[in-house]
Amino acid sequence: MTASTTTPAVLQGIGQIAVRVRELPRAVPFYRDVLGLTYLFEAPSLAFFQCGAVMLMLSPDAETPEFDHAASVLYFDVGDIQAAYRTLIERGARFRDEPHIVHRAGEKNLWMSFFDDGEGNVFAIRQWRAA
């Protein structure tokens, strides 16, 4: 399957992602100190971080019931998955698995490893590596 579009693009990228958390005071140190995301600011019941070009907003309260659920899986790109895995474990991250190949694509392989944020959300680190 090749990537193509017949409709002109309106969306230019993801600017912000909201992640539901149970306890904001517990979540902020995880995202700041364990994941090492750039802490931007807090507003009442919200905390904001920068991750590359994307802003991440943590919120313990859903505005309406349809938003009251755990986050989608976020896949964080890393330059060296083994080093990122070790660093995040040293900082207190709890991984569900070790880095492993999830897809082979000719000259390159996609490696991933999944972890919990302590707030009921599951995320992953990922890296494309030469086969």
Domain boundaries, the chain: 16-61+70-130
Half-sphere exposure of 51 (CA within 13 A, CB side): 23
Give me the pLDDT at residue 3, please: 64
CATH number of 16-61+70-130: 3.10.180.10
The pLDDT profile of the chain, 131 residues, written as one tens digit per residue, is 556 667 777 677 789 998 999 899 999 999 999 999 999 999 888 999 999 999 999 998 777 777 777 778 899 999 999 999 999 999 999 999 999 999 999 999 999 999 999 988 999 999 999 99
Burial of residue 105 (number of CB atoms within 10 Å: 0-12, 13-18, 19+): exposed
- Please tell me the predicted confidence (pLDDT) of residue 14: 84
What is the token pair recorded at 6? 């017949």
- Local structure of 24: helix, strand or coil: helix
Angle at 13 between CA 117 and CA 97, to 5 degrees: 30
